[in-house]
Structure 1
Amino acid sequence: MERRTVIKGLAGTLPALWLSRALGAGLVETLQPGEPVAKGPFKPSWDSLKQYAVPDWYKRAKFGIWAHWGAQCQPEHGDWYAREMYQEGSRDYKSHIAEYGHPSKSGFKDIIPKWKAEKWDPDHLLELYKKAGARYFVAMANHHDNFDNYDSKYQPWNSTKLGPEKDIIGGWAKAARKQGMHFGVSVHAAHAWTWYEVAQRADKTGPMAGIPYDGKLTKADGKGTWWDGMDPQALYAQDHALSKNSEDNGTIHKIWGWDAAQGASIPDKEYCEKFYNRTADLINKYSPDLIYFDDTVLPLYPISDAGLRIAAHLYNSSIKKHGKLEAVLNGKILDEEQRKCMVWDIERGQSNRIEPFVWQTDTCIGSWHYDRSIYDNHYYKSAKTVIHTLADVVSKNGNLLLSVPVRADGTIDSDEQAVVAGITAWMSQYSEAIYDTTPWKIFGEGPAMEEAAPLSAQGFNEGKGKPFGAEDIRFTLKGDVLYCIVLGSPANGQVVVKSLAAGSKHYPGEIAGVELLGQRLTVERNSNGLVVKLPEGKQDDIALVLKVLPA
C-alpha cells in the first residue's frame, strides 16, 4: 500500500531526500495501515517530543540489569554471530562449519530451531537481580538477526513458533513485575537490512567457492525442508542491492546511521513499515516501561518516520495506561535538542561531566551475546569494576544498565553468579549512596579525572582512561546529606577529601560529622581537605561510602 504524506497541506509521494528533511523538521504526518499511533499529546515530530519529561521512577532507580539473550547465544560464541558466521575465514565462520555445516547449506536460520532455552527460569534470575539492587530489568526483544523473542504478529520468525517455542518477552515481563521491578525491552532489528548483507556472499576460495550462502533463499526454495512454508526473506531481508563497499566487513559501521552518502542501501517502505508494526505490536502486547533502541537517534531515522511514530506511540500509550507519562526511550548519538525528547544512552562508556539531562550507560560484564571462551578464561568484569562504573555514572546524573550474558539454555554460569553476588554484597551495605540521589556541585575528584578518555561515536571510552583507585572519589547527594564514594581502600587508613577542605567553595557550611556504615568517624577539616580516619581493620576493597552530615 502506498504511503501518504502531508506537508503544509500538500499530499503526495515525495522523494527520499525531501521526506528525510521534512521528517527532521517535524513537518510530516504519515498515514499508514497496520498499528495506529496511540492518541494523545505526543505527535511523531521532534517539536512535539520535546514535551517529554523523564519519569521519576527512572531518575531514582539508577541501576538496571539486562538480558541480551536470543538465538545468537545458541553457539555460545559471542556477539554478532549471525553476521560473522558469513565472513569467510573468521572465527565464527570456521566454528560454524565445524559444528553446523557450511553457510550455503546451514545458515543462521538453521541455528534458530536448535535454541531451546530448556533451563530458563526467569523467576530465579529476576530474584537474583532484585537482590543485587537492580530496580529495572531489560530483555532483548530482537537483535540485528531480525528474530523476535515474543509472540509477534508481524514476524513469523519468532520464539513462540520456532526454537524455544516460548514467549520469551512475556516470561521476562511477568517475572520482573512479580519482583516489583520496572520492565523494559531492547530493540535492535532495524539494521537487519544492511547487517545481513554478508549472507548474500559466497566463498571466494576452497571447495565451496562461488556457491551462494543462504541469504537470498525464498519461500519457494523451502519445499521439503524443515522450514517449508517459511520465507527466509522475512528473516534475512536481502532481496535488495548491496550497500557500497559491502564486501568490506567494516563498512557496516560507516553506514549505521543510514548515510546514503557513505553508500548505505536504503530500505524500502515495506521493510520500514514492518519494523514499525512489529515494535508497536510489542508495545501493545507487553506495555514496557522502557525501550532501548540500538540506533543512531531513532530506528531508520532519517530515512523514515517509523522511529518518531514509535516514540509518540510509546509515550501516548504510557499516559493512557498510567494517567501520566511513565515511559523511557533510550537512543544513541543524540544532539542537544534530541536529548530533550528521550534519554541519551552511551554504549560501553561514560560522560566526563554532570549532564543536564538524565542519561544512561549500557555495558556488559562480557560479550553482548554469551561467549563460552570468556567463562573458560575468567575474563568477566569484576564486581569492583561494575560498582566503580555505577558510582561514576550516578555522580554525573546517569543510570547504569548492565548486561549479564545468558547461556543458550537460559542459565548464567558460575563466574557470572559470583559477579552478581559481589554486586549484591556491596549494594546491600551502600546502596543509599546510589538510589534516589542527585549529582552534587561537582561529580568527583582524583587522578582518574585527569586522564579521562573522550567519547567516540556511541560511547566506547570504557576502560581507556586511568583505572580508579582509592584517591578517586565520586559524590552523590540526597537532601542535604553528601555521600563520598571512595573507589578503593586507602593503604594508610585515612581518606582525604580535597573538595571538602576548610573554606571550600563547594561546601562552605559546617560539617557535623562523617559516618561509615552508621559508625561516626574521627575527622579533621583543614586547608588540604577533610581528613577522615577509618576504623581499624580491613575495609571494603571495592568502595567505601562516607556519609557527610551537615551541621
Structure 2
Amino acid sequence: MNRRNALKLGASALAGLYVSPIWGQYKICNAAIRANGPFEPSWDSLEKYIVPDWFRDAKFGMWAHWGPQCEPEAGDWYGRGMYEEGSWQYKYHVEKYGHPSKFGFKDIIKVWKADNWNPEALVNLYKDAGAKYFMAMANHHDNLDLYDSKYQPNWNSTKLGPEKDIIAGWEKAARKAGLPFAVSVHAAHAWNWFDTSQGADKNGALAGVPYDGKLTKADGKGTWWEGLAPQELYAQNHPLSENPSGNSSVHSQWNWGDGASLPSQEYIEKFYNRTVDLIDKYNPDMVYFDDTALPFWPISDAGLRIAAYLYNKSLQKHKTVQTVVTGKILDEQQRKAMVWDVERGQSNSIEPLPWQTDTCIGNWHYDRGVYNRKHYKSAKTVIHTLIDVVSKNGNLMLNIPVRGDGTIDELEREIVTEIGVWMTLNGKSIYGTRPWKIFGEGPQQESAGALTAQGFNEGKGKPYTAADIRFAQKDKILYATVMDWPENGRAVIKSLGKSSPYYTKKIRQISLVSTGEKLKFKQHADALEVYFPAAKPKASYASALEIIS
C-alpha cells in the first residue's frame, strides 16, 4: 500500500480509520471530525483548491518570527542548541544563565517579558514599507503557544513569560492596518527537535548530570514551576531517534523518516486540536507550516485534516476559499493543494502555480552578533529578491528579527524604511502583476544555484547588474525592471527587439516608474535600447520601466 492510498482510507466523511505504512509497520489513527464542506482530508480532494487573488496580488508580506528564543539574542534554534555541549549557543547559555541542568529552556520562557512590544507600531511600519500582508509566529519548535491556547493551557504566553496573548495583539494590529493576517505554526517537530534536552554533558564538572528535558511535574516541588508539567512543553518521554549524526539527527528526519522517533497519537491529536483552536480564535487568512508538505505527513493525516478544516471554514464564510496554507518540499499534486513555500531560496523558472519564498534579513530569531557585525541583508538585496520572485509567479515573505523585549533595532529600522522608499516609488510594477512570457534575461540567472531541500539557494548567484532584466505584466502593460542603474546611460533589453518572438507589438511609450518620466528609446531588430536620465532617482539599484504598446 502506498502512502497516498493509505491516506485515502481516512478521507471518508464518516471519519473511520486512517492506516499509514511506517517503514514496514502500520499505525491506526482516529480521524477527527472535519468542518462541513466539500474538502476532505486527502490530496485528491485538496488539489481542487484555487489560490485566492488577494494573495497573488499582494506579492510582499512581512513576518515577526518572534518568541522566547529571541530573549537570549543568540540566534535561531536556541532552544535546541543550548543543550548541545560544546556548541557556541551552549557556551553562551552556560555563561549567561547557567548550566542547562539547572536553567533550561522553560526558564528562558520565564525571563522573557516582551515589555516594550508595540504591535501596532511595528505593523504600521511594515505597512509603510509596502507589506500587503503580515504574519506572526504562533509557536515554534520550542512548543510554547503564543496565544490563549485551550489545549496547551499551561505552556502558553498568557500564563508564562509576557503573560500576554501575542497572537491577539498582532491580529488586532494587522486588522486595524487593513492587512490580511497570517500565522506560522512550527510546533509539530518539538517531539524530535527537543531531543537534545534529554542529554547530559560528557565532559567537565557536571558530566553525566541530566539536562532538564526529562523533568516531570513531580520534580517541580519547591521551584517556580511547581504544579507545571515540563513534559507538556518538552515532550521527551520517549526514546531518542535512531541514526543520529553528531548532536543532531533532526534535519534528515524532518519528514519523519531516516529512523526518526515517531510521535504518539496523543501528541499528534493535541497538535491538531491546538491548531484548530488557533484557527477558530484568530481566523487567520494564511497558515504557514514549517513542515514537509503538512504537519506529520506522511505518518498521519492530521495536517490534511487541518487544511480541509480551514478551507471548508473559509468557504462557508466567503463562498470561495480565501485562505492560504503553505508547506515545503511539495510534489506536483501537493502544489495544487496548497502554496509551495521555499525557504531562503528562489525558483529558477516561472512556476505554473503561485508560490512563496520566505527569508530573513538576519537569523530567524534575533541574534545580537548579526547586529554587532552589521551583517543584515541590505534593502537592495531584499528588493532584488522580491523583483526576481515576482517575475516567476511568487511572493516574498520577509522576516525582521524582533528582540526579546518586542522591539527591532535601529539598523533593521533603517533597512525597512529604505525598502519602503523603493516600494513607494515602484510598487505599481510589483502589486497585482502576473508573470510575462519569460521571467527575464541576463547573466545573473546563469549563475543561480539549484534548490536543495526546503530551498536554500539564495545568495549563490552573481550580483545583479544593469544587464539583468526581470519582467512582469498587468493591465496590458509590460514592466521591465533593470536590476542596476546603467552607468553608460542606456539599458539594453534583448528580449524586446523587433525580431524577438516574445514581444511583437510596436512600442509607443516607455516611462521610468519611479518618476513617471518618459524615456527615449530605439527598438532595433536584436534589442531595445532605453536611454536613462542623467540624474538617478532614489533607490536606483532597480529601475522599473513601464512599456506601453
The TM-score with structure 1 as length reference comes to 0.95
8 Å contact from structure 1 (residues 197, 246) kept in 2? no
Counterpart of 2:278 in structure 1 is: 282
RMSD of the alignment, in Å?
2.0
Aligned amino acid, residue 540 of structure 2: D
Offset of 1:224 from its aligned partner? 1.1
Distance 1:444 1:437 in 2: 15
Give the C-alpha shift of residue 535 in structure 1. 1.0
CA distance in 2, matches of 1:524, 1:195: 59
2:21 to 8, 17, 22: 17
Give yes or no for contact 1:20–1:302 (8 Å, CA) kept in 2: no
Q: Indicate whether 1:298 and 2:294 are aligned.
A: yes
Partner SS, residue 519 of structure 1: coil
Q: CA deviation at 1:13?
A: 6.9
The reply to whether residue 125 of structure 1 matches residue 122 of structure 2 is: yes
- Name the aligned partner's letter for residue 544 of structure 1: S
Share of identical aligned residues, percent? Answer: 60
- Cα distance in 1, alignment partners of residues 436 and 278 from structure 2: 38
Alignment check: 8 A CA contact 1:19 1:303 kept: no
Q: CA shift at 1:9, angstroms?
A: 12
Matching of residue 325 in structure 1 with residue 325 in structure 2: no
Correspondence for 2:468: 472
Distance 1:117 1:65, change over 3 A: same
- Counterpart in 2 of 1:440? 436
Maintained 8 Å contact 1:70/1:142:
yes
In structure 1, the partner of 2:74 is 77
Once residues 13 and 231 of structure 1 are traced to their aligned partners in structure 2, the CA distance between those partners, rounded to angstroms, is: 31
Structure 1 stretches lacking a partner, 5+ long: none
Match of 2:4 in 1: none
SS of the aligned residue for 2:250 comes to: helix
Displacement of 1:245: 3.0
1:325-380 superposed Cα distances (whole Å, 9 cap, x missing partner) = 10000000000111000000000000000000000000000000000111111110
SS in structure 2 opposite 1:532? strand
Per the alignment, residue 398 of structure 1 pairs with 394
**1:53 match:** 50
Question: What code does the residue aligned with 1:505 have?
Answer: P
Question: In the TM superposition, what are the counterparts of 1:161-240 in structure 2 within 5 Å?
Answer: 161-240=159-238
Letter in 1 for 2:545: L
Question: Paired residue for 1:341, among 323, 337, 344?
Answer: 337
Q: 2:480: which partner in 1?
A: 484
Deviation at 1:250, TM superposition (A): 3.6
Runs of 4+ in 1 over 3 A off after TM superposition: 5-16, 18-23, 28-32
Structure 2 distance, partners of 1:7, 1:479, is 42
CA distance change for structure 1 residues 541 and 22 in 2, over 3 Å: closer, same or farther? farther
SS of 1:253's equivalent in the other structure is: coil
Distance 1:180 1:13 in 2: 42
1:14 to partner: Cα distance: 7.3
- Alpha carbons 2:17, 2:30 under 8 Å: kept: no
CA distance in 2 between counterparts of 1:50 and 1:315 reads: 11
Q: Tell me how far 1:77 sits from its aligned partner.
A: 0.4
1:431 to 427, 431, 445: 427
1:50–1:341 contact (8 Å) kept in structure 2:
yes
Q: Aligned-pair distance for 1:272?
A: 0.4
Distance of 1:210 and 1:99 partners within structure 2:
21
Q: Which moved more, 1:11-20 or 1:226-235?
A: 11-20
In the alignment, the residues of structure 2 paired with residue 286 and residue 20 of structure 1 have an alpha-carbon distance, to the nearest angstrom, of: 40
Q: What whole-Å deviation, never above 9, does each CA across 1:509-545 have from its counterpart, x for those lacking one?
A: 1000100131111101112311111112234432101
Say if 1:232 and 1:371 are closer, same or farther in 2 by CA, change over 3 A. Answer: same
TM-score, scaled to structure 2: 0.95
Q: Aligned in 2, Cα 1:372/1:6: closer, same or farther, shift over 3 Å?
A: closer
Deviation at 1:479, TM superposition (A): 1.9
Give the count of matched residue pairs: 537
Is it true that 1:375 corresponds to 2:371 in the alignment?
Answer: yes
Q: 2:511 aligns with which of 507, 515, 525?
A: 515
Select which of 33, 39, 42 maps to 1:42: 39
